[in-house]
Amino acid sequence: MKVGFIGFGELASTLANGLLTAGLEVYTCREGRSSRTKDLVNSTDVELCKSNYELVKTVEVVLSAVSPSQTVSVAREVGHVEGIYVDLNNVSPSTVQEALNHVGTSNTVDAAIMGSVRKKGLKVKIIASGGAADQFAQLNQYGMNIEVIGSKPGQASAIKMLRSAYTKGVSALLTESLYVAYKMGLDEEVLKYITQTEGPYFKESAVSRIKSSAYHAKRRSEEMEEVVAMIREETEPVMNQATLEFFGALAQKLEKPSQRPTSMAHVFRMLEESNNQG
Amino acid sequence: MKVGFIGFGELASTLANGLLTAGLEVYTCREGRSSRTKDLVNSTDVELCKSNYELVKTVEVVLSAVSPSQTVSVAREVGHVEGIYVDLNNVSPSTVQEALNHVGTSNTVDAAIMGSVRKKGLKVKIIASGGAADQFAQLNQYGMNIEVIGSKPGQASAIKMLRSAYTKGVSALLTESLYVAYKMGLDEEVLKYITQTEGPYFKESAVSRIKSSAYHAKRRSEEMEEVVAMIREETEPVMNQATLEFFGALAQKLEKPSQRPTSMAHVFRMLEESNNQG
């Protein structure tokens, strides 16, 4: 079986190397890609096509793994595809639907990565929906870990997006509540008593979420824009709108630090300084 | 040692019976209380005073366990107290401070119940702050479970309130996110994948939180009013303000059902009907 990757960043190169090892023929195209991507291509035994158009004519399964903003444009560029076209990109259900409309109908798959590619490699959990999801899942016999969750494109992306919005909301709640506790000199105590309700792993996870909230505030507020747009089609977003606003305000208050904050108190000191200046 | 209870509802009667069994002399006053409270008093061996004023002259430790709205008025009624005065009521730090100001300074305790009295009885975890917290904690030798967390009244109540606001925020986030998933036909899937991130006990706890969010929406929005007022003294509430608004809107959409909803889908069907009508 021949598999082709559009885009060759960390996700694509990890999956490509795994599938090469499993004995598949793997293709990509390095024209027009960044120098980092070209280095990743050159470090593997992947075979090269001259263009993405040639790529989709050569392989049976095309996997699109580009940056979110390129999701639709690469699909438009390749146009109608005979084989199976899998969109692995981290985008909203409506964006993935727009992309897939360019390449086909029953031969498309909306796929969402549900774990860390860096940690899990080819075995990372991927959920998939769409007309060709079952066919895509046949790559499990070469070591992938694809779970078909439905027949409609958009379902896999919606699940990933709602899960990620929930996690961001919890992070925002924690950051706000524990900052208030910190101002009262009670942050360690409040954390301790929430941990007694939420379970033994809560404390470590809470501290990690607060540190990464500060570090990734801007990106999270951008991601929440898409979530809120999706939710608004179904109901009035209240909590998710607040998550968007919280991260927007946090990004304005904290210039992105050059390094991750070292502790929860470190985040709160930065926030306190910014509030005192504002 | 003589201990007296102002108020004799479930909390006071449970603690009183435990302390009686441990050999203490326990007093209360049933004048002006509800018939349910009088029944609770009559079912125990607690000794009676004619008034709360007589009560505070008789005992060494007074425990106030009344409804939140009576917290300040009973403290004003008893006035200056010679012994130790412990406020066990579920109120904000500023309300407990106002109550304690009527009865004394160094002899007062702000105490907060951190678990289920029904399940734990006399052993329920109580956190305590204030000048007399260490003396109050001497009741641990009679089977109580008091932890002193600080020397200032208000600290114990603040910890309880922030913990409870966090839990309410999580419940609101879950209800909003999973309602959207339900509208997309993906609620079970989203719950499953959040559970994979959050740990094995998450699913059961999430379903229970969604059901009780619907059942207690009005009370939660009222409790969040106090939380938001407290937070506003330290920082701009964004997530907690949203929790308040979410429960306010939920209470308006769902008339309080006569019984707890039976399932997550039951809550979402009620919500969908209300949204379709509105």
Quote the pLDDT of residue A112.
Answer: 97
Quote the pLDDT of residue A257.
Answer: 67
Q: DSSP letter for B236, please.
A: -
Locate A72 and state its tokens: 């639709």
Amino acid at A109: V
Contacts of A194 in chain B (CB under 8 A): 163, 166-167
B265 and chain A: CB distance < 8 Å anywhere? Answer: no
- Interface list for A 94-133 with B (CB within 8 A): 114, 125, 127
Q: Is A85 helix (H, G, I), strand (E, B) or coil?
A: strand
B229 and chain A: CB distance < 8 Å anywhere? Answer: no
Closest chain B residue to the Cα of A173, Cα to Cα: B239
Closest chain A residue to the Cα of B187, Cα to Cα: A159
B273 touches B267 (CB < 8 A): no
Closest chain A residue to the Cα of B159, Cα to Cα: A190
pTM of the full structure: 0.90
**ipTM of the complex in this document:** 0.90
A225 touches B169 (CB < 8 A): no
Q: Which residues contact A69 (CB under 8 A, 6 or more apart)?
A: none
- Interface list for B 142-181 with A (CB within 8 A): 149-150, 155, 158-160, 162-163, 165-167, 169-170, 172-174, 176-181
Domains B2-151 and B158-277 share a fold: no
Closest chain A residue to the Cα of B202, Cα to Cα: A198
A66 touches A45 (CB < 8 A): no
Considering the four listed CATH numbers 2.40.10.10, 3.40.50.300, 3.40.50.720, 3.40.350.10, the one that applies to the domain covering A2-151 is 3.40.50.720
B83 touches B103 (CB < 8 A): no
Is the CB of A158 less than 8 angstroms away from the CB of B184?
yes
The 10 Å CB-count burial string (b at 16+, else e) for B52-75 is bebbbebbebbbbbbeeebbbebb
Domain residue ranges in chain B = 2-151, 158-277
Could you read off the pLDDT of A37-93 as tens digits, one per residue?
888 888 899 999 999 999 999 999 999 999 899 999 999 999 999 999 999 999 999
Q: Looking at the partner chain, which of A166, A176, A193 has a beta carbon nearest the beta carbon of B159?
A: A193
Of B133, B131, B152, B158, give the one whose Cα is nearest residue B144.
Answer: B133
Taking each helix axis as running N to C, give the angle between helix A264-277 and helix A155-183, from 0 to 180 degrees, rounded to the nearest 10: 70
Closest chain A residue to the Cα of B246, Cα to Cα: A238
Q: What is the CATH number of domain A158-277?
A: 1.10.1040.10
Please tell me the distance in Å from B39's CA to the nearest CA on chain A: 33
Could you read off the pLDDT of A141-192 as tens digits, one per residue?
999 999 999 999 999 999 999 999 999 999 999 999 999 999 999 999 999 9
Contacts of A238 in chain B (CB under 8 A): 172, 176, 242, 245-246, 249
Quote the pLDDT of residue B278.
Answer: 65
Looking at every residue in chain B, the average pLDDT score rounds to 94
